[in-house]
Each structure stands twice: as structure tokens, then as C-alpha cells.
Structure 1
Amino acid sequence: MSLLSALRLNMTNAPGTTAGSAERYRAALEMASYADAHGITAIGCEEHHLAATGWLPAPLLMAAAVAGATQSIRISINALLVPLYDPVRLAEDIAVLDQLSAGRVSFVAGIGYRPQEYHAAGKDFRRRGELMDESLTVLMKAWGDEPFEYHGRRIDVTPKPHTKPHPVFFIGGMSAAAARRAARFGLPFSPPMPMPEIEAVYRAELDRHGKQGFVFCPENGNTVTHLTTDPEAAWARCGQYFLNEAAEYSAWAVPDVPRPNESPVGTVAELRRADKVEVLTPEELIAQCRAGRTGVTVHPLMGGLPLDAGWESLRLLGEKVLPALCAQP
């Protein structure tokens, strides 16, 4: 029996905390190496800026470090806020990352929804759709074999990526506009949770453009799992750390912009009811998988979670859950 298992590394901490960050980043690479050695499917991270929790602002750097600390595990950036970058420099950085990892890194191109992030990058939030289209066009041309014209100049990005015809990437989003953009560029679409109506827009638009593609989304949306031998004790000790990240994410909600797991949370009790974080024993997760569950994401550095608690969760996945499922006929 196989389980799609992921280690999430977005490096959030307690709000306003910087002490111990270097230790936590080193622990992230040690956890990545452990995940690689214990059969975990993938390692993921995503990009945010100006976060009180220190949410990872440099996912390409993190992906490169993780690639250097691992041998075979897949690495995914979910999501990379493409319009915030210079597109030529982004094409170069991703090409080098693709070479460093021998094609193990994929990314989800996200447009973002926070005006503050655009302001910090010197970008016009009102032009985000136009910026996204321009960036995607440049990336696709830059990774091709031929030079191309960009703002009146001849550009030939080198090195070219290891992966042909280009690194693996998806268009992310939860809107019809994102689905149409993915189809128009002939790229796979990756909403953060199952969204049948939006997926139907994507498939119809693929047909209209005569292109092929597919949809990929996580079974449980953005829900993360913490494994422990004593769930009530874990909630008592770790609930506030879980809340640090969830509360900040909830505070970023923008009217009329859909996001996964959107219900606001302000207390640990609300977080437990919202199912954004589930705390399970290994036996409970094994039983769910045997009943048909296909995916799990552990988040052992969430919101400043103590390192020993994070390691316990990861090791229970790697040494209890996955071996038990592999032994299942």
C-alpha cells in the first residue's frame, strides 16, 4: 500500500521571533535528509513575504539547499510568486536549480493576493495578471533553444535546464482566470484543493485551445498532520505553535479572493474545529490509509514548534506509519 507523504518546510516561527532561526534552518535540512532516507515522497515549501512569523521568502534558495542535502526525493515549491521576480533572472535561477537537482524540483506558479508583497518587490498589484502572463511567456522562451527578443533586446538564457522541454511546473490558483491561464499556456493546473467547477473550466479551455493538460491537487487541501503517541498532550503543548501560522494566514484573507481552509481562527479551540491541523497517532493514520486515504503532509517546524516535537512527528511517519503500510499486502 502506497501513501503520498510530504514534508512541509515553510519555516514559520512564533510572531516576531528571530532567535534560533539558524538552528531551525539547519534542522530543516537534517529533516529533509531524513525524509529522503525514509521513503517520504516529497518535500514542499511555499513563498510569502513580510510575515510576522518569518514565513519563507526565498523558496528557490531553500529548494537548492534541500536538493544538496538529499539524493532522490522530489522537491516542490508551492507556490512560487512568479510576478514578483524579474522574469529573465527567474528563468536563470530555475534553470540552475533544475541542473543542481537533476530535475527533482517542480514549482507551482502563483500570482499572489497580497498588495504588500507586490509593493515590497516594486511591482504594481493592479497589473498582476499582465505581469504573470509576461513572466510565463519569458520563462517558456528562455528555456528554449533559440534566443528571443525581450524589451527590444536579444536574450539567450544559459545554462538551459536539465529537464526537457522545461522544468516541471504548474499554474496554481483557485479562480477561473487561473484555470484559463493554465490551459492557454498548455500547462497543468494545480488548485490547492479539489475544485470540480474550476477544473471543468480548465478542461473546457484546453479543448478550446487544442491543448493537453491535467489537474493535480492534494487530497486534503492545506490540512497538515502532526503525529504523536498522545494527541491531547500534543494539543496542550503544541497548539499555540500550530496557531501561530494558522492565525497569520487567516489574517491575510482578502475579500472575494478564495483560499483553502478559509475559516478564520483566533484560538486553539477554533483551530481544532477548523481541521487545518490534525493531530493523530500513527495507528489512527495507518487505519485511515487502509480505509482509503492516499496522502499526508507533516509540518514539523510549524509556527515555532519545538524541535523535539517536530522530530517526533516526522520519525513516527518514517519509522511507524510508512513501514506498516509497506508491509500491507
Structure 2
Amino acid sequence: MDVGFLFDMRNPEEWKRPWADHYARALEFCEEADQRGAGGLWFTEHHLFEDGYLPQPLTLAAAAAARTRHARIGTSVLLPALRKPAHLAEEAAIVDLISGGRLELGLGAGYRVPEYALYDTEFKGRFARTEENIREVQRLWAEGALTPGPIQDPVPLWGGFYGPRGARIAGRLGIGLLHISRDKFEHYRAGLVEGGHDPDSARVSDLLPMILSEDPEAAWPRVAPYLAHQMNSYRRASVEGTDQPTPPLIHPDEFRDRTSNAPWGALKILTPEDAAAQILEMTEGLPVRHLIFWASIAGMPDDLVAENIQLVTEKLPALIGS
């Protein structure tokens, strides 16, 4: 299993930097991570977030591909139900070509009503459309129906699904599961069998709620405001367009209580040694390919980002035997 980083490009108003500078700095971090031996650079998708959450992951993925040489270039995740399959297949193929065959295409159904409305697409039935569109992308590439096609045959695809239903969908499609969970893994293997695929072809990866620091206690108060912003925006976004009430805001001070029931459970700041111990326990017996870490939490200070990248790439691999 390799280690990599997820970039979501959040740039909140409280500590906003000019957008061009923000993207330029992220690409510099991509280059640095690649030079330090990162196994993957991953980009995610959301729309209509006030902090500019990355809306077009393949566009940024292409830029990162052109600036790097070794790391896999992935999405975790892109929303295929918002796109025509031919458009997605063409755009992803270009990223694979630019990267020299390094694309890892992670796909999911999403959870936000406004995003589907923005693209004039029905939210209801999104899982079925997601599966249909993934199958069509696979067909277009397999039959050479589009020009140019990707270098890889096939491009590694991943299902970013968290529930039992989604795990079965990933299995039926014969793709990887972007979720490390022993409970869901059995549903995933069942889906592989249902889809006529070899269950031994199972592979899993995941975004881990961790960043690394040599001094987690010192890092916590610095990260807390950024984590509070991240969590509050997720919580508000999850109910937009629904009749559910807006969740109460989490205050950074709440992260001082780091018990198992406190809000800090959304993130762990760990030394490389402590992270390795938890990772080895979590992944034991599972066919893990990629471990993905947050590059930054909501635009946190650059020195914390740089330390995180250095520790994940230079210390963690030896500790987990990758």
C-alpha cells in the first residue's frame, strides 16, 4: 500500500488568499509530495461551497499530472451522475495521457441536493445512474469508441461508496472500493461474485481522518479553527435542499475534549509512530492499495501542511512496511 494526499482546495474567507496564489501553492505542494515519494495525489469534487471547495477535480488533476512524474493521479471522488459518460471518459482519458498512465478514477454518488440541481439532474435515483454511467465509461474505453483513449487498459476505477449498497455496486462493477471497512468488505466481495468477477480481485483504499505532526498537542489548537470550519460546512451542506434542520455550529474550543464522543473524532493528529500502529490494526488482512491523507484541513497554515507531507512520505512508509 502506498501513501498519498487529498486536495480539496478550500479557501475560507477568514484566512483567504488570492485564488491564483492558492492554486499555485497547492500545485507546489503536489510537486513536493511527488519528489518526496508520495504514491498518490487525489482531488475531490463539490459544488456551491462558499469556501471554493474544488468543483472540477479532473482539471486540477491534469495540472498536477503535468507537474509531477511518479505519484498516481486520482479522484476521491468525482460524481459521474452529474456528467455525460462520454464527456467523463474523454476528460479522464486526457488526464491519463498527460500523466503517462497514472490515473486512478474514484467515483461516487454524492449526497447534496443543490449539486444535482445545479447540473439539472435528479437527486433521486442517483445510485442507479452512477452505476449506469460507470458501466458506460467502461464500455466506451473497452470498445475504443472515443479518441484518444487512455494509456491504461483498463484505467483503475474505484467506487467511493460507504454503505452496504454502495459496496455491492462497486463489487458488481468489478472496481475497487474506496472504503476500508471489514463490515463493508463482505458486501463488496459478494458484489464481485454477483457481477461475475473473481472475489480475489478485491482491492480497497480510503481517505484516513489523520494528519501527522511531531507534536500533536501543539498542532491541535492551531488546526482546531480550520477543522471547525470544515465540519460546520459539511454539516450545513448535508441538509441544504432538504427539510432537515440546520445542525448547531461546532466551536473550535470543543476540540479540547478529545474523548471518543467529542467532535474531534472527525480528525486525528498523530505522530508517525502512533499513526502506523492504528493503520496496521485497521488494514490487517485487507487488500489495501492506497492510504490517502488530507493534505490540508480547510487551508490550514503552510508549515503544518509541509510537516504533514514530510512525515507521511518520509517516515510513515517504513513504519507500515510499504
Q: TM-score, normalised by structure 1?
A: 0.80
- The question of 1:208 aligning with 2:190 is answered no
Instruction: Say which of 157, 162, 166 aligns to 2:151.
Output: 162
| In structure 2, distance between residues paired with 1:292 and 1:301 | 19
Structure 2 partner of 1:66: 64
Instruction: Say which of 37, 42, 47 aligns to 2:45.
Output: 47
Whichever residue aligns with residue 185 of structure 1, its letter is L
For structure 1, the 5+ residue unaligned runs are 147-155, 256-262
| Structure 1 residue 189 displacement after superposition | 2.6
Structure 1 partner of 2:164: 176
Q: TM-score, normalised by structure 2?
A: 0.81
Distance 1:241 1:39, change over 3 A: same
| In structure 1, distance between residues paired with 2:125 and 2:70 | 39
Q: Which has the larger radius of gyration?
A: 1
More displaced 10-residue stretch of structure 1: 11-20 or 42-51: 11-20
| In structure 2, distance between residues paired with 1:66 and 1:247 | 29
Q: Is the Cα–Cα contact under 8 Å of residues 295 and 308 in structure 2 kept in the other structure?
A: yes
Secondary structure of the corresponding residue to residue 43 of structure 1: strand
| In structure 2, distance between residues paired with 1:308 and 1:174 | 32
- What do the CA deviations read for 1:260-305 (whole angstroms, capped 9, x no partner)? xxx987122444443322223xxx3235536874786543432121
Distance 1:199 1:322, change over 3 A: closer
Instruction: Say which of 233, 240, 244 aligns to 2:218.
Output: 233
Structure 2 partner of 1:277: 267
- The question of 1:108 aligning with 2:106 is answered yes
Q: Is the Cα–Cα contact under 8 Å of residues 223 and 297 in structure 2 kept in the other structure?
A: no
For structure 2, the 5+ residue unaligned runs are 241-246, 284-289
| In structure 1, distance between residues paired with 2:42 and 2:89 | 20
Whichever residue aligns with residue 10 of structure 2, its letter is T
- What do the CA deviations read for 1:199-243 (whole angstroms, capped 9, x no partner)? 22222232234322414033xx5412142x443332223320122
Would you say how many aligned residue pairs link Structure 1 and Structure 2?
A: 299
More displaced 10-residue stretch of structure 1: 296-305 or 79-88: 296-305
Whichever residue aligns with residue 157 of structure 1, its letter is L
Whichever residue aligns with residue 275 of structure 1, its letter is G
Structure 2 partner of 1:243: 228
Structure 2 partner of 1:258: none
Q: CA RMSD for the aligned pairs?
A: 2.9
Q: Is the Cα–Cα contact under 8 Å of residues 243 and 303 in structure 1 kept in the other structure?
A: no
- What do the CA deviations read for 1:163-196 (whole angstroms, capped 9, x no partner)? 11x31111221223322322332223333x4151
| Structure 1 residue 56 displacement after superposition | 0.8
Secondary structure of the corresponding residue to residue 231 of structure 2: helix
| In structure 2, distance between residues paired with 1:46 and 1:61 | 11
Whichever residue aligns with residue 194 of structure 1, its letter is S
Q: Is the Cα–Cα contact under 8 Å of residues 199 and 215 in structure 1 kept in the other structure?
A: no
Secondary structure of the corresponding residue to residue 139 of structure 2: helix
- The question of 1:311 aligning with 2:309 is answered no
Structure 2 partner of 1:260: none
| Structure 1 residue 324 displacement after superposition | 6.8
Q: Is the Cα–Cα contact under 8 Å of residues 212 and 307 in structure 2 kept in the other structure?
A: no
Whichever residue aligns with residue 91 of structure 2, its letter is D
Distance 1:44 1:270, change over 3 A: farther
More displaced 10-residue stretch of structure 1: 120-129 or 81-90: 120-129
Percent identity between the two aligned chains: 29
Distance 1:264 1:226, change over 3 A: farther
Q: Is the Cα–Cα contact under 8 Å of residues 94 and 150 in structure 2 kept in the other structure?
A: yes
Whichever residue aligns with residue 158 of structure 1, its letter is T
